[in-house]
Amino acid sequence: MGMPSIEEMKQIVLDFCKPPRTSHMITIDKHGIPTGRTLGATLNPDMTIDIVTITDLGFKRIEQVRRNPGVLFIWWERGVDQGPVPRVVFAKCVAEVLSGELVLEWYDRATAAGRKFEGTTREQAAEKWVIIRAKVKQFRAEGFTKEGEQLDRSEIRYGLTWKP
């Protein structure tokens, strides 16, 4: 039926995961239990994912990533006209916490792209912000079809899995 190729799917996923769509980030807490949070995460063209956060806000994911860098991101959408399978993208990742100069580079790119950070100077960002950068190891995309086509439940293979 109408499954896109992996090359087509890569672009579909990049477009699908763009803000303002939010994602769900799943990490492992200090007790070894998966825990989730809804947040804005940027899927970059190089298939890394960036989250910028302020260190003194107590974002627990910073310590969770430092302790266990295995992270799962999920973006999804349930549209009325899509048929029985929701559109969802899973990204299995290995993440790290970055600070200092890398935050400045991110800040410069974001401001060059038109983002505004009211009340936070470039220097303050370098002092108080960190980036959680996740490198995608594997994608799984489900519920996507070629334009104008739908999937039905009789179709067994309704998703694609690939490594970037």
- Residues β-bridged to residue 159: 142
Residue-level pLDDT, tens digit, the chain, 164 residues: 567 788 888 998 999 998 888 999 999 999 999 999 998 888 999 999 999 887 776 788 899 999 999 999 999 986 666 566 678 999 999 999 999 899 999 899 889 988 888 888 999 998 889 999 999 999 998 877 766 555 555 554 567 788 98
Task: Report how far residue 76's alpha carbon sits from residue 23's, in angstroms, rounded to the nearest whole number.
Answer: 8
Quote the pLDDT of residue 32.
94
Cα four-point dihedral sign 78, 141, 13, 134: positive
Please state, as a whole number, how many other Cβ atoms lie within 10 Å of the Cβ of residue 60.
12
Quote the pLDDT of residue 42.
83
Task: Report how far residue 43's alpha carbon sits from residue 50's, in angstroms, rounded to the nearest whole number.
Answer: 7
Total-model pTM:
0.83
Nearest residue to 74 via CA among 87, 95, 88 = 88
Q: What is the pLDDT of residues 1-47, one digit of tens each?
A: 567 788 888 998 999 998 888 999 999 999 999 999 998 888 999 99
Q: What percent of the chain has pLDDT over 90?
A: 45
Quote the pLDDT of residue 2.
64
Delineate the domains of the chain, giving CATH numbers in brackets. Answer: 6-153 (2.30.110.10)
Nearest residue to 158 via CA among 94, 107, 84 = 84
Name the H helices within the chain: 6-16, 61-67, 101-112, 122-128
Quote the pLDDT of residue 40.
83
Nearest residue to 122 via CA among 144, 105, 137 = 105
Cα 140–142–147 angle (5° rounding)? 125
